[in-house]
A = this chain, B = another copy of it.
Amino acid sequence: MAALPPPVPPTAVGIDLGGTKIAAALVGADGTITSRASLPTPAAAGPEAVLDAIAELAAPLLAAAAAAGAPALGVGIGAAGVIDPATATVLSATDHLPGWAGTDLRAGLGARLEIHPSAVHAVNDVHAHALGEGWLGAAAGASSVLLAAFGTGIGGSLLLDGVPLFGARQVGGHLGHVPSVEATGLRCPCGGTGHLEAIASGPSLHALYLRSGGDPAVPDARAVFDRAAAGDLLALSAIDTAATAAGRALGGLANALDPTAVIVSGGLADAGDSWWAPLRAAFAAELIGPLSSLVPQPAALGADAALAGAASLLLAPAASTHLPAFKEPTPCC
């Protein structure tokens, strides 16, 4: 009797959907990315066009997997907006994706890709990012992970045994809206006052630099970092304040949640030691005794984290086992 062929490890398509770009990858069971593609997000053309673009990226990857004899288990999506992971429906979204709220990713992609709707999973992009880092990246093997992303906004995700804390209203991980001493009196994009995002996001850091008398020709946070590298003391001071606020808030959250690992990502985390040094110092100063050896670490996978994390919704045992059971979406908006 001929021996059976060895079992083929599964694959999945991971999608990272942002306001300006959609990235897609074919991800192996071990997280290896074997093929990738991307398209600009047709945000202004509305959600049907966005779904079309996702399908345009995913279809050839699904076909390639099948042709290689390692069929994909489905499509995992890390999407901008507030996502209900039980239904893969968009609960709310920002102006970057007009009309996106209410989009049913399962129905929309199941039909376009001719796959069963239950083979489509979605979480928000920061959860996808954390899932990737927790699976294969800076927090691989950690039983709990607090990830914070500092960029245009501030996002986050708490992974517990490999599963994001989605929260009762699917907004768990909104770390930008904790109180910050450094943000006292400052308006937050959420409408509140004094939140971390009002001082520690990229735009807030830039605004702080300008408020403190910085060169009005400096157009954004990236340019503030350039100025700091050139010795601009006001730029260094603004970075120090923003990063101190970030470190202090993360240290307090670590005290409350006692995670195994703290991972910091986002555009600001790529900016170098002028930001990391005050963040680490403020974080350390905040910690209670039992956490004293905890040090925030930079994310390790870059943009691949969200692709791997999205695919992990189908591939990684913890995430897929603990995802809420499939249920029919209800109109939300």
Contact = CB atoms under 8 A, between A and B. Distances in A.
How many identical chains are in the complex? 2
A115 to B, nearest CB: 30
A248 interface: yes
Contacts of A82: 290
Given A167-B144, A178-B178, A288 B192 contact: yes
A160 interface: yes
A82 B252 CA distance: 18
A255 interface: yes
Interface string A229-268: 0000000000000000000110111011111100000000
Contacts of A169: 258, 290-291
A87 interface: no
A6 interface: no
Given A179-B181, A249-B179, A174 B259 contact: no
Interface in A255-293: 255-260, 285-291
A143 B160 contact: no
Contacts of A177: 252, 255-256, 286, 288
Contacts of A165: 160, 257-258
B258 A170 contact: yes
A66 to B, nearest CB: 38
A84 to B, nearest CB: 12
B286 A256 contact: no
Interface string A168-194: 111111110111110010000011111
B285 A193 contact: yes
B179 A288 contact: no
Contacts of A285: 192-193
Contacts of A195: 252, 286
A41 to B, nearest CB: 24
A180 B249 CA distance: 10
B156 A256 contact: yes
Contacts of A25: none
28 contacts: A82-B290, A92-B290, A144-B168, A158-B256, A160-B160, A165-B258, A167-B259, A168-B258, A168-B259, A168-B260, A169-B258, A170-B290, A171-B291, A173-B256, A173-B258, A174-B256, A174-B288, A177-B255, A178-B252, A178-B253, A181-B194, A190-B288, A190-B289, A192-B285, A192-B287, A194-B248, A195-B252, A253-B256
